[in-house]
Amino acid sequence: MFTNILITTDGSELAKKAVQQGLTVAKGMKAKATVVRATPAPRTYVAEGVILTPSVEVHEQVARVVADQFAGITQEAEAAGIACETVHVESDLPWQAILDTAKDRRCDLIVMASHGRTGFSAAFLGSEVQKVLAQSTVPVLVCR
């Protein structure tokens, strides 16, 4: 039924559970897994007339952390016999990066984790899951 499953991660423990669920679904469907991680681009700040620009090391450190996370996921997928591709996107809108990646990579299912926030915390922090659910043209599996 599904041929390319997009699995989102932010590196959290909850996201790790969603990755495992996504890989389980991919294995059961004999589908490919595409894992995406969206990180915000380091910003330049101005404070009291001083311009603070992120160094190259900041970019490199983020890339190393994401690469380490992807290495673990790729090993897990390979051990299960699942073809797996990883995609790192710098974006301040993770939900948009997820949808763009799903479209660009022709994914037919999105698997993501939800913290299940409600009320003020959901309104204040926003919900990437809600935004993906509202805009996605493919099914979304939400894991808790």
- CATH class of domain segment(s) 4-143: alpha beta
SS3 113: strand
pLDDT range class, residue 41, cuts 50, 70, 90:
confident
In sequence order, the 6+-apart residues with CB closer than 8 A to the CB of 14 are: 113, 114, 115, 143, 144
More confident residue, 50 or 12: 12
With a cut of 90, say whether residue 55 has pLDDT above it: no
Q: For residue 102, with 0-12 CB atoms within 10 Å meaning exposed, 13-18 middle and 19 or more buried, which class applies?
A: buried
pTM given for the model? 0.88
With a cut of 80, say whether residue 122 has pLDDT above it: no
Calculate mean pLDDT across residues 132-139: 96
pLDDT of residue 115: 73
Q: Average the pLDDT over each of 96-100, 117-121, 136-140 and give the range with the smallest value.
A: 117-121
For the chain, the structural domain boundaries read 4-143
